[in-house]
Amino acid sequence: MTRMLIIGPPGSGKGTQAERICSELGIVAISTGDIFRANVKGETPLGLEAKKYIDNGDFVPDTVTNRMVRDRLAQDDVANGFLLDGYPRTSGQVDELDDILAAAQLKLDVVVQLTADDEELVKRLHGRAVETGRTDDNEKVIRHRLDLYREQTEVVVARYAERGILAKVDGLGEMDEVTKRIMDAIRDV
């Protein structure tokens, strides 16, 4: 059983690698971004609220995100392990996740941080915007999201590094090569 999260700047390959890791380990992927986008597409109340933030490249407020993750982690399919993608992104969300897991007498096993050069990330996200028509991937919003990542999310990385469960992995290269580096890093932690 593996309970983990994958973290990294927008465009670092988290979603792609999350699918591969989950397939390899037999665990469920939980992507807050996918859940928000599904709600936006379905025009649910949560989706309408989240869209305002997503379209500006801002994080959805912790109150909304925390409630969603708490509900998701209470579902039966996470019993054999999970991979969180896109959560936690702030120090407050780390505290909330700690509380959620402690209530179930669980803890995270590993945190994988994908790293990549900013200019490569901008290039990747522009390509994704063209392919998928995502409104949150124009250059101004991309650079804003990268700034937010550095300002808020890197504190999260530091907290997990202090616990000794952080594995930094270069997110650049062929997909199979990156997946192998991640799986090796997971085994090392």
| Active site residue ranges | 14, 89, 128, 134, 145
Are 69 and 123 in contact by the 8 Å Cβ rule? The answer is no
d(CA 45, CA 123): 33
Residues annotated in the binding site for ATP, as ranges? 11-16, 128, 173
Which residues carry a binding-site annotation?
Answer: 11-16, 32, 37, 58-60, 86-89, 93, 128, 134, 145, 173
Tokens read off for 174: 């062929």
* Helix, strand, or coil (residue 101): helix
Q: In the block, which residue shows the tokens 């909304």?
A: 64
Relative orientation angle of helices 118-132 and 139-148, to the nearest 10 degrees:
130
Q: What is the DSSP letter of 61?
A: P
Per the annotation, binding residues for AMP are 32, 37, 58-60, 86-89, 93, 134, 145
Residue with tokens 């209530």, as numbered in its chain: 103
In sequence order, what are the residues at sequence separation of 6 or more whose Cβ sits closer than 8 angstroms to the Cβ of residue 86? Answer: 14, 31, 32, 33
Bridge partners, 114 (sequence order)? 169
